Amino acid sequence: MAEKLNKDAVYKAAKPEEKDYFINDGGGLYLWVKSGGSKLWQFVYTFEGKRKRLALGAYPGVTLEIARRKASEIREQLANDNDPAEGRKKVRQEKQTAKLNQERKSDGLPILNSFADITSKWLDSIINTNTADTLTKKKNRLTTWIFPFIGDKPIDGIKSAEVLAALKPLIEAGKLDTAHRLRAEISAIFAYAIVHNLTEFDPAQPVAKQIPAQKVKHRAAIIDPKLVAQLLRDISNYQGTFVVQSALRISPLLFQRPGEIRKMLWSDIDFESNEWRPFISKTDFHHIVPLSTQATEILKNIHPLTGNNTYVFPSSRGNGRPMSENTIMTALKTLGYDSEVMTAHGFRTTASTLLNEQGWSPDAIERQLSHAPRDKIRAVYNRAQYLDERRRMMQSWGDYLDTLKSGKSADVIPIRRSLNT
């Protein structure tokens, strides 16, 4: 196809007529002379059977030399089987996106389709299956550890090596549990992106085997009845605030997770049925904890002091928050029990060990420890499972602890067998 058919003088001399007309420069380049007097460069081509036109600017602002150079670039794109109109559209979109992202960053928002942006959408998608506290923890972990590395990167451009690099500081610091948890959350974010057609691959999946396994560290607990007896006497003599005294004394009686005890709500206590009915976020179900007479007495004694609060054991700072997570541990240390001997979580091990030795049903003990089945439907069905036995067990456990504390006996008593005789 012939090119450069005319000299610049031809285009300069072109005058408007009654109707628009074109002057062909060859190779698809035309000057469009409009009846109103304007002269516009146009490139006409056919792509995949469709006739198309591209505007190259107005003459003489866009000179003949510039128009021919632009036409040459377009012909090169066509030779490579690329539609120049789509390329131009993509450039416009990229400019618009860059401008929008700059505005979003100024407003403190993540870049569109970046890892941080998709993370925000993923968190919104799981809002109905997670508690607010759990969502906050997930968001904080990702914001602290992952966003500095890949937060602004396009979701479809992140590589496995970049995910591993983001987790490397945690691995080197020995925070393996956090590293594994984050790796799983990153995979969940990519799964969301895949099903929404934002990417095709989860780069976090291969990283799983690059994180060392977390060695299980068993929390210290006292299981010798004679030592338990001394622990109970020490707890009775604890001289801290009445709120901390009460929380410490009720912990071995209920043997629930320390976080659940310190966040105990008055609204979950039913004195008529003598039950505590907390929602267990760790296992995502409502638990029933039968209250022994000993536990009920502790709660009734503290009610005049904290009954107007949300929490049974509120923070001493009076900020509407529950007791600090380290309070019970600190109280135990004050009594001479460091973390190598006894922990707040250790009351669960103490109860589990001794109740099993006493012959109580392992299933009833597991349910009382709120080890819920992974199947949520089964968990709901089994919510009150073994409840009658658990009522007897919890009262017997309270009586047994009283016996130990009094020093009358430090031997393991086969409570269940004695109740059935």
Which one from 141, 333, 371, 392 is the annotated catalytic residue?
371
Annotated catalytic residue 50: no
Q: If 0-12 CB within 10 Å is exposed, 13-18 middle and 19+ buried, where does residue 204 land?
A: buried
Annotated catalytic residue 391: no
Question: Measured between alpha carbons, how far is residue 329 from residues 179, 183, 344 in Å?
Answer: 26, 30, 6
Which stretches of 48-87 are assigned E, i.e. beta strand?
50-59
Which one from 34, 52, 89, 282 is the annotated catalytic residue?
282
Annotated catalytic residue 348: yes
Local structure of residue 308 (DSSP, 8 states)? T
Annotated catalytic residue 257: yes
Q: Can you tell me the distance from the alpha carbon of 151 to that of 322, in angstroms, rounded to the nearest whole number?
A: 33
Sheet of strand 50-59, all strands in order from the earlier edge strand to the far edge: 21-26, 29-33, 39-47, 50-59
For residues 347 and 255, is the Cβ–Cβ distance under 8 A?
Answer: yes
Annotated catalytic residue 30: no
Which one from 348, 367, 390, 405 is the annotated catalytic residue?
348
Which one from 249, 257, 367, 390 is the annotated catalytic residue?
257
For residues 351 and 255, is the Cβ–Cβ distance under 8 A?
Answer: yes
Among 170, 166, 208, which residue's Cα sits nearest to residue 187? 208
Rg (CA), the chain: 36
Pairing of strands 39-47, 50-59: antiparallel
Which one from 262, 345, 367, 405 is the annotated catalytic residue?
345
What pairs with residue 54 in β-bridges?
A: 43
Which one from 7, 95, 226, 381 is the annotated catalytic residue?
381
Annotated catalytic residue 345: yes
Q: Can you tell me the distance from the alpha carbon of 299 to that of 312, in angstroms, rounded to the nearest whole number?
A: 8
φ and ψ at residue 263, rounded to 5 degrees: -100, 15
- Which residues participate in catalysis according to the annotation? 257, 282, 345, 348, 371, 381
